């Protein structure tokens, strides 16, 4: 009965999202802008250019009669975007903090059903809202830390109840884009942590081999398209956590004929470092006051000794 209720709710959510997923006509936005020089003037110029694109997209959505989307885009005005593209489902890469002065960068990688239309609308379960709360928690834990947080909608995410969500096709495209960003940040001397939710953990698993990151943390994960930490071929600390009420625990961890993503990252056989997530569900990992948020903030800060089980 519980599984049936989850399916019915998921179907309703997908139907609603299907009406808002198409942002503007055009081919899917699958190419990220190159990273600018990580200086204050160069970043300010990029933020200003993308702010103009956000405003144009908001006006276009309003003219098209997409009131909900126009509202979502209006909420993005005045914020700092390294990348923005309104075509297809849309791409958006938001920076919270001073990237020019940061020593560490935490990249929040979202999962399925994430578009420009839902970049903020689901609170802390959205990349925009989640990144803001994560950055605030990190500042409370270490006010002097030179940390920037990136809300990374850098790929075309699948719908939760579509066949694509059981394959790594979209994740593979996302992994290629994520690698480009991480490589650029690492070349500029930043230490990078990946925080990967749900289907986003598949993206991070495919991007992981030999990627210059210090930490990869997955939460609410269906799998990383790998059988173990060793199979990821990464020198990073690999973390995994799952809330006690997360429905993802009922998803079979299989890999057969291109379907599924293999071993459960929280299983002992996978070999990840486990972190506590408390009683929360699939959308509650970055909820203020949660155990998961505190642990993910410590991982973002590069303080593994403070992470609790």
Is 222:282 a contact under the CB 8 Å cutoff? no
Residue 21 main-chain phi, psi, to 5 deg? -65, -40
> Which sequence spans correspond to the domains of the chain?
2-24+33-306
Q: How many CB atoms lie within 10 A of CB 227?
A: 15
| Per-residue confidence (pLDDT) for residue 282, from 0 to 100 | 96
Rounded Cα distance, 41 and 47, in Å: 10
Rounded Cα distance, 12 and 15, in Å: 5
Q: Taking the model in full, what pTM does it have?
A: 0.89
Sheet holding 215-219, edge to edge: 81-85, 91-96, 147-153, 104-109, 191-197, 215-219, 237-241, 273-274
Helix (H, G, I), strand (E, B) or coil at 67: helix
Rounded Cα distance, 295 and 287, in Å: 12
Tell the CATH superfamily of the 2-24+33-306 domain: Alpha/Beta hydrolase fold, catalytic domain (3.40.50.1820)
Burial class (CB in 10 A: 0-12, 13-18, 19+), 139: middle
Angle between helices 127-141 and 291-301 (to 10 degrees): 70
Rounded Cα distance, 65 and 215, in Å: 43
Is 257:292 a contact under the CB 8 Å cutoff? no
Q: How many CB atoms lie within 10 A of CB 14?
A: 17
Rounded Cα distance, 148 and 282, in Å: 25
| Per-residue confidence (pLDDT) for residue 185, from 0 to 100 | 97
Helix (H, G, I), strand (E, B) or coil at 37: coil
Beta-carbon contacts of 209 under 8 Å, excluding residues fewer than 6 positions away, are 232, 233, 234
**pLDDT, tens only, 225-236:** 999 999 999 999
CA angle in degrees (0–180, nearest 5) for 3-168-256: 70
First and final C-alpha spacing in the chain: 31
Residue stretches of the chain with pLDDT short of 70: 1-31, 161-166, 255-259
Is 259:223 a contact under the CB 8 Å cutoff? no
């Amino acid at each position: 009965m519980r599984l049936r209720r989850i399916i019915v709710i998921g179907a309703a959510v997908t139907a609603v999202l299907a009406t808002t997923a198409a942002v503007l006509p055009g081919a899917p936005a699958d190419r990220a802008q190159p990273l600018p020089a990580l200086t204050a003037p160069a970043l300010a110029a990029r933020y200003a250019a993308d702010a103009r694109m956000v405003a144009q997209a908001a006006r276009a959505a309003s003219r098209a009669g997409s009131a909900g989307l126009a509202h979502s885009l209006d909420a993005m005005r005045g914020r700092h975007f390294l990348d923005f593209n309104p075509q297809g489902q849309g791409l958006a890469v938001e920076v919270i903090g001073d990237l020019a002065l940061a020593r560490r960068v935490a990249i929040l990688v979202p999962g399925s059903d994430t578009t420009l239309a839902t970049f903020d609308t689901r609170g802390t379960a959205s990349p925009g809202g989640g990144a803001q709360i994560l950055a605030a928690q990190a500042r409370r834990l270490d006010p002097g830390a030179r940390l920037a947080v990136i809300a990374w909608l850098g790929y075309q995410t699948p719908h939760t109840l579509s066949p694509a969500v059981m394959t790594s096709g979209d994740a593979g495209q996302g992994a290629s884009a994520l690698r480009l960003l991480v490589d650029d940040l690492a070349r500029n001397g930043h230490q990078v942590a990946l925080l990967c939710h749900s289907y986003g953990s598949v993206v991070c698993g495919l991007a992981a081999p030999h990627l210059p990151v210090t930490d990869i943390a997955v939460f609410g994960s269906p799998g990383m398209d790998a059988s173990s930490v060793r199979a990821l071929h990464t020198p990073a600390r690999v973390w995994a956590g799952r809330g006690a009420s997360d429905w993802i625990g009922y998803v079979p961890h299989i890999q057969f004929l291109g379907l599924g993503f293999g071993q459960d990252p929280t299983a002992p056989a996978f070999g990840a470092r486990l972190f506590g997530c408390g009683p929360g569900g699939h959308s509650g990992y970055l909820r203020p006051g949660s155990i998961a948020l505190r642990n993910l903030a410590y991982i973002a800060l590069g303080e593994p000794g403070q992470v609790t089980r």
